[in-house]
Amino acid sequence: MAVLDIRQRTGWLFAAIVLGHIILISAQVNSRRGVPILEEVTFGSFAEVQRVVTGIVGNVREGWQNYFALQEIRRENADLKQRNAQLDVWIQEERARAEESRTLRQMLGLRDHTEVALVAANVIGASADAYFRTISIDKGKDDGIRQDMAVISPAGVVGRVIMPTARASKVQLLIDRNAAAAALVERSRAQGVVVGEGTATVSMDYLPGSADVKAGDRVVTSGIDRIYPKGFVIGQIESLQRGAGEYSGVVIKPAVDFTSLEAVFVVTTPPPPDVPGSSTGATAPRVQSKDAQ
Amino acid sequence: MKIAGAFVAIALALAIQTTLTRFAVVGTSTVDLVLVAVIGVALTTGPVGGMVSGTVAGLIQDALSSGVVGIGGLAKTLVGFLVGAIGQQFIVTAALPRLVMFVAATAVHAAVFIGLYVALGLRVFESPWTAVAYQALGNALVGLISFAVVESLPGVIERRRGGGRRRR
């Protein structure tokens, strides 16, 4: 009977639902302090569903592969892949360190290197919406993950944590329209801001027109946004146009293939205070959790 | 039965969308399976079913994205209600009317979704028309195939049962 009553009052129900949505939207747009409870609770609960679905899919896939493949070789391969991933991160860091030491050799003696602690995590889901570029990972506050921590992969920068819950976190990818990162061109040290466009590429804004920049240059994080550690690869410049004041249309192809992300690393160490002339950003990664493959 | 079917369709669409979307980074041209499910539920159950499924699916989708919770929900609620109401008034069982319905519903959804973000000054969408057009076509294609599969299932089962009896 109750269902029949609702059907007879479709118009009222529709108005009530629309009003509810408007109130919900207004509450979020007016106050931007912290994360809305509804969003966190819904994300937290659905992250568990994603974890289970991903687990089931992973188990089925693993079982299927194990049936055909030699188990010992697979295990060895997985270990080697993990070691390779860690080494890739090391290589990236060493490359940044070498580049820094070339230009800031005099200053190297004045400071100590800091260690970057990493937490390995598996990707358990993606944004359910085509307009946003986010992923869900299986590590949360219980593993030391906090909001605004950088997320990287062996290939380069992935994004940042925007909502950690107890056992999972939502990560905004660098290609999301709302994402941005302070960056510099590795060869000429020209600084700018890399912003996501919601597509497969990102762009670089505020790049001075006088800077020596060309297509093919590698773009890395500058570290001044206090989110992404310095020296991590963002991507390579595909095309650009020199403007009067600054470059325009600087298109960067990200180093990370966002379509095949399975495991990532969360940087749990906050970047060092930005002291002019003292930061080389030469950091050595230290993986805390090794259960991601 | 219809409610259970609607629930399963929305849950399945959300699960597939969240599991598989990360393998496709092609702007907004990705097929919105959740919207397809909402339209399908609205066409089969009417405005109340469409509206409720749109609200639930939209809010979950919003919560899983990094945007404002409620904008996607509102867009899908409107689409669910409108499609359900039109489906009750007109016969939308042939392929062409359904194709038109999927394309129009995707356009309305995109207009409300993008319009709200732009009106509230939260986001800039630079010429999204091509992406929306591709999404509309993708949604229509997936929707028509899904409808064909779901509607052919009872017949297939019946034929199999009949064949089994005849063999016996």
Query: How far off is chain B from A217, nearest CA to CA, in Å?
Result: 23
Pair A244, A209: CB distance under 8 Å: yes
| A139 occurs within a structural domain | yes
Residue A26, pLDDT > 80, answer no
Distances A163 to A46, A96, A132, A192 between C-alpha atoms, Å: 13, 29, 14, 26
| A7 occurs within a structural domain | no
Among A6, A14, A24, the residue with its CB nearest the CB of B70 is A24
pLDDT band at A30 (very low <50, low <70, confident <90, very high): low
| Entry pTM | 0.62
Give which of A174, A178, A286 is closest to A234, Cα–Cα. Answer: A174
According to the model, what pLDDT value does residue B125 have? Answer: 78
Among A13, A21, A28, the residue with its CB nearest the CB of B74 is A21
| A192 occurs within a structural domain | yes
- The total number of structural domains that make up chain B: 1
Q: Are A38 and B69 in contact (CB < 8 Å)?
A: yes
Q: Are B67 and A21 in contact (CB < 8 Å)?
A: no
According to the model, what pLDDT value does residue A62 have? Answer: 78
Torsion angle (degrees, nearest 10) of CA B92, B95, B98, B103? -160
Domain with A182, as residue range(s), is: 36-293
Among B24, B48, B122, the residue with its CB nearest the CB of A13 is B48
Nearest residue in B to A169, CA atom: B64
Cα–Cα distance measured from residue A228 to residue B12, given in angstroms and rounded to the nearest whole number: 36
Residue B131, pLDDT > 60, answer yes
| A146 occurs within a structural domain | yes
Average pLDDT over residues A257-279: 71
- The total number of structural domains that make up chain A: 1
Task: Please identify among residues 232-251 of chain A the ones whose CB lies closer than 8 Å to any CB of chain B.
Answer: none
CATH number of the domain enclosing B25:
1.10.1760.20
pLDDT band at B71 (very low <50, low <70, confident <90, very high): very high
Task: Please identify among residues 7-36 of chain A the ones whose CB lies closer than 8 Å to any CB of chain B.
Answer: 7, 10, 13-14, 17-18, 21-22, 24-25, 28-29, 36
Rg, C-alpha atoms of chain A: 22
The per-residue pLDDT for range B14-41, each reduced to its tens digit, is 888 877 666 655 444 578 899 999 999 9
pLDDT band at A107 (very low <50, low <70, confident <90, very high): very low
Query: How far off is chain A from B6, nearest CA to CA, in Å?
Result: 16
Cα–Cα distance measured from residue A199 to residue A130, given in angstroms and rounded to the nearest whole number: 10
Check if the interface score ipTM surpasses 0.85. no
Pair A265, A138: CB distance under 8 Å: no
Nearest residue in B to A29, CA atom: B68
Domain with B109, as residue range(s), is: 2-167
